Every structure is written in C-alpha cells, then in structure tokens.
Structure 1
C-alpha cells in the first residue's frame, strides 16, 4: 500500500456521538497506549541508574546519559510533528515504538557508557514522538466540554504508570536481561491499543509557544519556578536511583523510594491546587518549595537512617515539589487572556524540559564531590534559591484578584506541547486538523 493510500485510510472517518460509550472506549484505548509507554520509560530510567552503579560507572557518567535523555526528548518533541505530517501518525508511532523497544534491549547487550549516552538520546527522542502523537490523538477525540476532565485523567494515568514502572524493578535483578526485556515488551504492547483504536487521526498539534521575554513579563514566578522545579525533578528522576543504591538500599528499597515520591505528588496535587485557588497562588508555590527544600535537607542528612525515614522524606519531597510545576502554570495563566493560555503553557513546557535536561548532570557533579547526599544538597539549594526569589517577587507585585484567577488544572509532568490544547481554560482552538470523531 502506498503512503498516499495509507494516509487516506488513516483519514477515514468513524462518526461517534460525543460522550457515547464508543467515544469513551477510544479515549481509554489511547490512554492505555500512553500508560504502557510511560511504564516502560519509567522502569528503564531507574533500571539504567541501578545497572550503571553495578557496572561501576561514576556519578558524572550516570548524570551525563540521564541528561542526554532529556535533550533527546526536547529534540523529538520539536521534530516529531514534521515527521508525522510527511509519513502519517500510525506509521511514525509504529516506527518510534519499534526503535525504542530495540534501544531498550541494546542497553543490555552493549553495556558501555559512551554507547548508553547515544542510546538515551535516541530513546528520549522516540519517547517524545510517541507522546506527541498520543496527545494529538487525545486532543482530536476530546470535546471542548470534556477536555479539562480528560487532561486530569491523563495526569492521573501518567503518574500511576510512572509509579507502576518503578515497582516493576522488583520483577528481576537489574543485572539480568529480563528487566530490559520487560521495558521492550511494554513499548511493543503500547502499539496494540493505539493501532486498533478507531479514534481517527488528527493533524499534529504544532508548537505554539510564548516567547521567553513574554513569559518573564507575564509571570516571573511562574517562569523561574518552572525552571527551578525542573532542575530538582530532573535531578531526582535521573540520579535518585543512584543515591538510593549508594546508601545501600536493596532493589525493592530503590523502587519504593522512587515510587513513593510520585505517590505523594499524586495525592497532594489537588489539595495544593485547591488552596492556591482561594489564596495568593504564589504563597502556596513558595511554601511548597520551602518545605520541599527542608525535606531535601532531611534526605541529605538521612543517608544512614532506616528505610521508613527515607520513604517518609521522599513522600514529602514529591508531594510538595512535583505539584509546583502545575501551580506555576496556573499562576502564569492567571495573568493572561484565554486565547493565550495554550501558548503560555506550551512555553513553560519547553522551559521545564530545559531545566530537566540540566538537572541530572549538575546534581551528579555535586555527588561526585560530596557523595550521594550531594543529590539532595543540590535539590535543597535549588528550591531554597527559588523560595528566596519568590519571597522577593511577592513583595514586588500585588496578588491576582480572586475574580481574575482561573481554577487549578493538573499539568502532567513529562508531557509535550501537544497536550496543552486540552487545558480547560484555553480558547479551544488547537493548531492542526481536527480528527474524525
């Protein structure tokens, strides 16, 4: 079948009334595909950190290939739309899933730091492309009246999938081939619900972002907070497994240590969002960051403590630090008209990606100097610095009037610009052609 014929088939319409069981089934299939992609990606990130430690790689080396993943992710999110427009959604999704699946196995076959740097870049680019396509599908299959709900569900699915991926580290020793095969299986199985879905195929949601200067003008706290929280989150995602391994935790302990942080974020993001809706949102951002910094100090001083203490501090760190990204996006959106919401949120997504790319390597340099505690010394310094900046900004600008504020919306971390038109406060006008229902 020619590419033109394939595109014709992909563009065929499957009319389905909005809100019908068939429509819900289509969205569920897409969310299942995204969930499997994130499970595999989550497991692979922690698995590589632990395996690298077993292979005797230095903290700087681990930080380098962990940062390379986020660089690849940024590149993939930029170039994926153009590739899809030339070849088609299903073809590109299948190709990227296949490459990512092969890359997962290649890590186990070629255990070499320089090779892993390249493989992590490729995997990051593939993962970004997969998420762009899946999020474009979600946009196309979601009615304007339901988009906030779908974005919230997507955020929960992404968080739960990330937690599940961490816990799967216990299935087999990281020194074996099996966990790499599990990653490959998850990525391959993600093709099934997406390929069989009758959700239609949308035009790619292209990037529509506000300029850096515009973001700084709109919300200095939102912009700076997004970057600084990304530094700490990227450092934790990339170097957290190395920290846990270096202080002597078992594989089960490592997986729990990582998973409990995201569990905290999942449980507290809505309460924090609700509080920020009824008070100065900057004060909630500032308080969460400050307490998150204290949790980091506790973790840095607790390398010889019991697993229970470490898990409690990890929970506090994740519960208060990770939701700051959503709070920063909400604060920025309080300052703009609705037709600019999507561009602002997309711009902050790019800023978040830049911070996440820098975080792992920067933290690894500190760890190389003072040991595993250096990870949370770095995170504490980053969050404390931002807290000081936030306190200064509160004194410089009056809070947003309650009647001008938009209600809090959970923004999934590790997402792309393609999910932003789902934001319930946006104008509802997403670039790209609308998919058949």
Structure 2
C-alpha cells in the first residue's frame, strides 16, 4: 500500500503547468464572484435602507463563516472527496447568492453572508490544497507568486462588475450566482490529482504569542482594518453620493496600489527591520485616513489619495507580518505558524466591522475614519511595544520576503519553507502543536 502511495506522489510531483491551469482559472472565477458579492451586498443594503450596524454585521458574519468553513473543509473532503465537496459548496454559495433578492430582512442577509463565507472558504481550501499537490518543489515559489497575482488581480477586477449591473436589482446577484456556478467547471474538468491528505496543523495560541507577539497583534489589527474597509466603507461611499462607477474605481484602485506597493515594501523589509516597515505603513495609512475626515463632497480624487492609498499601504503588510513572525520561528514551525496567523487574521476581520460599524451608526462618517485611524494607531503602538519582547533578528538571519495571500491554510505549503505535497503521515504528539 505504501509503495502505491509513493508512486502516486511521484506522479503528482512531475505534473506540469497546463495540467493545473484549470485550478488557477477556478480560483480566478471564485475570487471574482466573492469580490463582487463583497462590495455588492453593502451597497445594495444601503440602497434598501438597511441599518448601518446591520450591514457591518454582514461583513463580520462573512468572516465568521470563513473562519468556520476553513476549519470544517478538511472534514468534508475526508468524507466525500475533493470534487464532490467543491461541487456541494459551490452549489450552496450559488443558491445563497440568489437568496438575497428574496427578502430584505437584515437578519436573513446576515445569515446568507455567513453561509457564503463558510462555503467560499471551503472552496478556497480545496483548490489551494489541490494546487499544492500539483506543484513540485522546483515550481513552489513561482506557483505561489502566480497564485498571489491571480487572487489580487481577480479581486481588483471584480470591483468593476458593480458598474456593469444595477446595484439594487436582481441582475447583479444573478451574475454572482452564475460566477460561483462557473467556478465549479474548471475543477470538475481538472486532471490534477488531489492531495493525499489535507491534515491541518496549527500551533496553539500560547506558542504563537511566544514566537512573535508583535506579529500576532499586527495580523489581528490588519484583519480588522481590511474587513472594515471592504465591509463598512462601501456604505459610506454610497451614502455620501458616490455612484457605482466611482465606488468601483475607488476600491479597484486601492487593490492596484496594493499590488504595486507590495514588492517595494517586501524589498525594504528584507533589508531593514520588518517591524519598521509595517509601522511606517500603518502610520502613513493612519494619517491618510484622518485626512479623509476633511474630504470635500463627492471628491473622488481626494478619496483615492486618502482612503484608497491607505488601503493600498495596509494590504501588503500581511505578507510582511507573516515573514516577521517566521523570522523567529523554528524551521519546522514556519508553516504551522503561518496557518495559525490566517485564523488570527480571521478573528480580527470578525471584530473589525463590528467596531467601526457601531461607531459609524452612532457617531457618523467622520467618526468612522477616526475609528479606523485609531485602529491603525493601536497597531503601531502594539507592534512597537511588543517587538521589544522579541529577540532581534540580524539581516543575514532573516528569511526572504514571500508574498502570501490571506486566503486559507491550503496554499501555505507552497511557502519556501513548506512541503509542496501534503502527505499522510503519523505525527508525534507535541505540547505545542495541535492536529
């Protein structure tokens, strides 16, 4: 039996790029659908006159569902296999996307966003673990880089779908449903073998904090900021009079800025303390967010230069914070640590919209920007303070910056210190690692 497994692993290692092009296509379609739904729901909810706090809870519900789906996806795959699991999840999220138009109940919309988050997370885990199985060690870094580009470009492109359809009708939700359904086709047609196993390995919270207290707090704050930006700011943008074209331009420009800024920041983080780069980015983003409180009415350029550039500066910090934490980790802890940080990011993303949404509901738009700025300031102070608790890392001892998307644990083995193929193995019990 073991010989057959080894033979299968050799075939998986030898697989070539065209064989899993379809998996990248599935990622692109799925991320486009999810990105479109992410900006469509708050804008449509605003058009329907829903409470701002309830709309913020929809964003938190999505990330809560994402958190749950990430944890449960492996169990589903173990029961019914990769393609069947993906088909089930894609069908559910496609149906849930249409269910939004059946009711204007805030409670039901919160539930639908939670359901969509859980199903989309499962889809991501399945495809990412599949891509791992289809990647040899020689192609690991290149595959991760391409995957990251596919995610960011698809996310940026999805924002423009808002301009192609009316935000308050049936059509945009039908488009989302169609895209989620189409994301199933490449997976069903793929000839790539799924991973032999998708066992999830994480460090417990005490060990994570011991490795990098600054990293864990920074990741949590970052999750809160990103979720607030895409969950609450669309409500503000629609409320102050921006049309759908302007909202699409604002958020797509933010993502393009993030793509362009990511590599310069990564280059700097390899040549100076990573915490300094993150603190500088957070500080500048905080200042820009404060400037947004003085925004003239319907001034799109001012919004892009403040809100958009702020988001563009913050998004790349995820990979830098992961690298910062990895600098202090043992070689065999790198992937488990990165996997755990994905979950910490999710916790921050759940709490962030609740905080900023509450502030926006009761204190208004200026207080919204102040609250986001204060969250960034909290991140700066926390990282600066907690970094003193960590051992200093020499430049020559640092691992290289690797751009890692904040999607799920499934893609993390493609990291330069990870295993390209997830294999079934018996692991020794450890006080620090949970299975």
Interval of TM-score (by shorter of Structure 1 and Structure 2) = over 0.9
Among 294, 297, 300, the alignment partner of 1:301 is 294
Task: Report the CA distance between 1:193 and its aligned residue.
Answer: 1.1
The question of 1:175 aligning with 2:142 is answered no
With over 3 angstroms needed to count, the CA separation of the structure-2 counterparts of 1:24 and 1:240, relative to structure 1, is same
Task: Report the CA distance between 1:422 and its aligned residue.
Answer: 1.0
User: Matched residues in 1 for 2:420 and 2:91: separation?
Assistant: 33
Which residues of structure 2 form unaligned runs of 5+? 426-435
Give the aligned partner of residue 430 of structure 2: none
Task: Report the CA distance between 1:271 and its aligned residue.
Answer: 0.8
The question of 1:361 aligning with 2:354 is answered yes
Superposition RMSD on alpha carbons, in Å? 2.3
Task: Report the CA distance between 1:34 and its aligned residue.
Answer: 0.9
Task: Report the CA distance between 1:225 and its aligned residue.
Answer: 0.3
Contact 2:58 2:110 in 1 (8 A): yes
The question of 1:210 aligning with 2:211 is answered no
The question of 1:114 aligning with 2:107 is answered yes
Among 400, 418, 422, the alignment partner of 1:430 is 422
Contact 1:202 1:432 in 2 (8 A): no
Give the aligned partner of residue 185 of structure 1: 178
Among 401, 411, 416, the alignment partner of 1:419 is 411
User: Matched residues in 2 for 1:170 and 1:14: separation?
Assistant: 50
Task: Report the CA distance between 1:349 and its aligned residue.
Answer: 0.5
User: Matched residues in 2 for 1:147 and 1:248: separation?
Assistant: 46
Give the aligned partner of residue 392 of structure 2: 399
With over 3 angstroms needed to count, the CA separation of the structure-2 counterparts of 1:185 and 1:407, relative to structure 1, is same
Deviates more, 1:274-283 or 1:314-323: 314-323
User: Matched residues in 1 for 2:207 and 2:190: separation?
Assistant: 39
Superposition pairs of residues 109-258 of structure 1, within 5 angstroms: 109-258=102-251
TM-superposition CA deviations, 1:273-327 (whole Å, max 9, x none): 1100011111111111111111211223325361111112233212211111111
User: Matched residues in 2 for 1:266 and 1:18: separation?
Assistant: 34
Contact 1:263 1:318 in 2 (8 A): no
TM-superposition CA deviations, 1:149-183 (whole Å, max 9, x none): 21111111111111111111011111111111110
Task: Report the CA distance between 1:257 and its aligned residue.
Answer: 1.4
Contact 1:16 1:23 in 2 (8 A): no
SS in 1 for 2:16: helix
SS in 2 for 1:200: coil
User: Matched residues in 2 for 1:128 and 1:394: separation?
Assistant: 32
TM-superposition CA deviations, 1:220-242 (whole Å, max 9, x none): 11111000111111111111210
User: Matched residues in 2 for 1:38 and 1:269: separation?
Assistant: 19
The question of 1:287 aligning with 2:305 is answered no
Give the aligned partner of residue 268 of structure 1: 261
Task: Report the CA distance between 1:25 and its aligned residue.
Answer: 1.3
User: Matched residues in 1 for 2:74 and 2:150: separation?
Assistant: 24
User: Matched residues in 2 for 1:388 and 1:345: separation?
Assistant: 23
User: Matched residues in 2 for 1:427 and 1:26: separation?
Assistant: 20
SS in 2 for 1:425: coil
Contact 1:42 1:166 in 2 (8 A): yes
With over 3 angstroms needed to count, the CA separation of the structure-2 counterparts of 1:177 and 1:223, relative to structure 1, is same
TM-superposition CA deviations, 1:31-57 (whole Å, max 9, x none): 110110110011011111011001111
SS in 2 for 1:244: helix
Contact 2:227 2:349 in 1 (8 A): yes
The question of 1:410 aligning with 2:403 is answered yes
Which residues of structure 1 form unaligned runs of 5+? 1-10
Give the aligned partner of residue 310 of structure 2: 317
The question of 1:65 aligning with 2:64 is answered no
Among 368, 371, 382, the alignment partner of 1:378 is 371
User: Matched residues in 2 for 1:237 and 1:432: separation?
Assistant: 38
SS in 2 for 1:278: coil
The question of 1:55 aligning with 2:48 is answered yes
User: Matched residues in 1 for 2:376 and 2:392: separation?
Assistant: 21
User: Matched residues in 2 for 1:329 and 1:286: separation?
Assistant: 14
TM-superposition CA deviations, 1:391-429 (whole Å, max 9, x none): 23455555311221000011112x111111111123557
SS in 2 for 1:384: helix
With over 3 angstroms needed to count, the CA separation of the structure-2 counterparts of 1:214 and 1:14, relative to structure 1, is closer
Q: TM-score, normalised by structure 2?
A: 0.92
SS in 2 for 1:206: coil
Give the aligned partner of residue 103 of structure 1: 96
